[in-house]
């Protein structure tokens, strides 16, 4: 799953190997984590390891699609070369509150990195002229 996720984000967002220098992706049944090589190579970690670094992607129910997380994109999204969706001040307020935005954007259908000025707000999903905020309920700004 790790490699599948890496291939996907490289293809979708134009990330390169260098963007993740010194980092390692590790998957379990539900998630793909990104952590440092030092952590991944530590041999003496105690048992009952729960998880690593930050959750970079969530494996969807179909078992194939991996959705990049808002948290991952907030850290690495500024290095992306494509499928970045710029929002204006008004749209930003809607997006961070989890609201859909109508758009005539020509970006490809699928996950996009949503950016306001130089701030990466998180993950969106673009389909049929609608940008759906993918920010989890626990993470959105309360109204």
Partner 1 sequence: MGAKLHSMPEIPGKMKERFEAIFGRDYDKFEECCRNDYKKSFRVNTLKISVEDALELLKGNGIITKRIPWTKNGFFTDVKSVGNSFENFMGYIYIQGPASMLPAMVLDPNPGETVLDMCASPGSKTTQIAAMMKNKGVLVANESDYKRIKLLRFNNDKNGVLNSVITNLDGRDFAKSKLRFDKILLDAPCTGEGIVMREWEVIKRWNMKLVIKMCRLQKDLIASAISCLKPGGTLVYSTCTLSPEENEEVIDHALKIGGIELEDIELKGIKTRKGLTSWDRYTYNERVSKCVRVWPQDNGTEGFFVAKLKKV
Please report, as ranges, the residues that interact with partner 1 according to CB under 8 A.
23, 34-36, 38-39, 42, 44-55, 69, 71, 74-75, 96, 119, 121, 138-142
78 vs 103 by CB, closer to partner 1: 78
Cβ-Cβ contacts under 8 Å for 123 (sequence gap 6 or more): 67, 68, 69, 70, 73, 111, 112, 113, 114, 134, 135
**What is the distance in angstroms between the CA of the first residue and the CA of the last residue of the chain?**
36
Cβ-Cβ contacts under 8 Å for 40 (sequence gap 6 or more): 24, 26, 52
Q: Smallest distance, Å, CB 96 to partner 1?
A: 6
127 vs 139 by CB, closer to partner 1: 139
SS3 category, 20? helix
Cβ-Cβ contacts under 8 Å for 29 (sequence gap 6 or more): 59
Measured at the CA of 68, the angle between CA 110 and CA 60, to 5 degrees, comes to 80
14 vs 53 by CB, closer to partner 1: 53
113 vs 121 by CB, closer to partner 1: 121
Q: Smallest distance, Å, CB 123 to partner 1?
A: 13
48 vs 64 by CB, closer to partner 1: 48
In angstroms, the CA 87 to CA 114 distance is 7
Q: Smallest distance, Å, CB 89 to partner 1?
A: 11
């Amino acid at each position: 799953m790790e490699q599948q996720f890496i291939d996907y984000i490289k293809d979708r967002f134009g990330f390169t190997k260098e963007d993740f220098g010194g980092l390692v992706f590790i998957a379990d049944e539900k998630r793909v984590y990104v952590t440092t090589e030092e952590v991944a190579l530590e041999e003496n970690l105690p048992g009952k390891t729960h998880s690593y670094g930050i959750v970079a992607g969530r494996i969807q129910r179909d078992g194939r699609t991996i959705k990049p997380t808002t948290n991952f994109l907030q850290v690495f999204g500024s290095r992306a070369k494509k499928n970045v969706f710029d929002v204006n001040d008004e749209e930003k307020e809607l997006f961070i509150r989890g609201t859909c935005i109508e758009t005539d954007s020509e970006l490809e259908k699928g996950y996009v990195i949503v950016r306001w000025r130089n701030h990466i707000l998180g993950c969106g999903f673009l389909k049929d002229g609608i940008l759906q905020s993918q920010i989890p309920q626990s993470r959105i700004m309360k109204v």
